[in-house]
Amino acid sequence: MRRITYRQALREALQEEMERDARVFLMGEDVGIFGGNFKVSQGLIDKFGEERVRDTTLAETVIIGAGVGAAITGMRPVCEIMLADFVGVCFDEIYNKAGKWRYMHGCEVAVPMVIRTPMGCRGGGGAEHSQCPEALFLHGPGLKIALPSTPYDAKGLLKAAIRDDDPVVFFEHKLLYDLEGEVPEEEYIVPLGKAAIRREGQDVTILAYSFMVHKALAAAEALAANGIEAEVVDLRTLVPLDVETVLASARKTRRVVIIHEANKRGGAGAELAAIIQEKLFGVLAAPVIRVCAPDVPIPFSPALEKVYLPDEEKLQQAVRELLAK
């Protein structure tokens, strides 16, 4: 099968959806001729013009606020926030407007929009340029959350997100843009709310999403060399969450480790652990554990960033400890 990068896969999704539906348009900082900070929208302005690939000024409040306004009046905007850290600037617009305006205004209008934003550490970004803020939105009713880990999913999930009638916060990981993977030429979508089992195993379940899926797979390979077979579940979306797949895997292995790059307290792992223990309390052979960053702001120095980040070694160690319980 054809191999393309995560970045190209995202671009194809945008292009195909813009061709398919004239209501879809892009809006964000430097997304036009410059093609976006991570070059995802490169070339799209040549195909669709300035009318549908709109450079805004440096003002996230209006990028998202205007997105909501356009979405509730018949358009389907795809808004780009240059880095996920800047969601703070438009938090009200995402959390309260995009997430709630449908419900609070009589459940008639839809807010069909996508908020694309790159997240994660990539060396030396520091506390305000490296974060993974998905948990903030997990807590907010009305929002959906996608976090693709492969080029295939990047394309399929973005297409699904654009077609969805609800606001989707779409997290791309900075370290994945150059990742190559198989992506068919034919049209497909990856539905929101369907997890993927990336590796089967019976000893322990590792739940992961986004870049950490790759860390989980690396850890699983290393563990397999020592006779431990881990099942790696890529959640793909946190809302909707594929509870069925998660519980089926947990029921099978009776041991669950959750890994995410974001810090632990109040992270997505807390929600996942709570769901699993609510449903499978008597089935589990050990407590559900989390491998996450510590609850500190992300340090700039590479020497500290390395200590900060969860990785395959930390994950392997956690799995070993869990199996010893």
Partner 1 sequence: MLPEKNVLVELYRKMLLDRYLEEAMVELYRQGYIPGSLHLGIGHEALSIGTTVPLRRDDYLVFSHRGVGHSLGKGVPARTILAEFMGRATGCSLGKGGVHLSDFSVGCLGISGSQGGNIVIATGAGLSAKMRGTDQVTAVYFGEGTANRGCFHEGINQAAVWRLPVIFICENDLYSYSTHQSKIMLRENVADHAYGYGIPGVVVDGNDVLAVYEAMQEAIARARAGEGPTLIEGKTYRWRGHHEKDPALYRDPAEVEAWKQKCPIKRFELFLQAERIISPEEQASIQDEVRQEVQEAIDFALNSPFPQPEELYRGVYANPAGILDLI
Ligand X SMILES: Cc1ncc(C[n+]2csc(CCOP(=O)(O)OP(=O)(O)O)c2C)c(N)n1
With both helix axes pointing from N to C terminus, report the angle between 268-280 and 243-253 in degrees, rounded to the nearest 10: 60
Report the partner that residue 69 touches, choosing among partner 1, ligand X, none (CB closer than 5 to 8 A by kind): none
Cα–Cα distance between 319 and 299 in angstroms, integer?
26
* Closest CB to partner 1 among residues 130, 205: 130
Least distance CB 116 / partner 1 (angstroms): 17
Minimum CB–partner distance for residue 155 and ligand X (Å): 26
Residues 32-71: x/- map of binding to partner 1 (CB under 8 A)? -xx--x-----------------xxxxxxx----------
- Which of ligand X, partner 1, none interacts with 104 (beta carbon under 5 to 8 A by kind)? none
The site that binds partner 1 (CB under 8 A) totals a number of residues, namely: 35
CA distances to 56, 106, 181, 262 from 129, rounded to whole Å, are 20, 38, 27, 13
Complex with partner 1: residue 30 or 180, whichever CB lies closer: 30
- Distance of closest approach, residue 241 Cβ to partner 1, in angstroms: 26
Closest CA to 206 of 187, 234, 239: 234
CB atoms within 10 A of CB 317: 12
Pairing of strands 24-28, 53-55: parallel
How near is the Cβ of 114 to partner 1 at its closest, in Å? 21
Closest to partner 1 by CB, 198 or 290: 290
Residue-wise DSSP of 128-163? TSS---HHHHHTSTT-EEE---SHHHHHHHHHHHHH
Considering the rule CB under 6 A, would residue 89 count as an interface residue with ligand X?
yes
Alpha helix (H) residue ranges in the chain: 6-20, 44-52, 60-71, 91, 101-104, 134-138, 151-163, 212-225, 243-253, 268-280, 302-308, 312-324
Tell me the two tokens of residue 37. Answer: 């900070």
Q: Name the segment binding ligand X (CB under 6 A); options: 82-90, 158-166, 196-204, 245-253.
A: 82-90
User: Taking every pair of C-alpha atoms in the chain, what is the biggest distance, in angstroms?
Assistant: 60
Interactions with partner 1, residue window 13-32 (CB under 8 A): 29-30
Work out the number of other CB atoms within 10 angstroms of the CB of residue 12: 18
For ligand X, which residue of 58, 104, 274, 283 counts as binding (CB under 6 A)? 58
- Judged by the rule CB under 6 A, the positions of this chain that interact with ligand X are 29, 58, 60, 82, 86, 89
- Judged by the rule CB under 8 A, the positions of this chain that interact with partner 1 are 29-30, 33-34, 37, 55-61, 85-86, 88-89, 123-129, 294-297, 299-304, 307-308
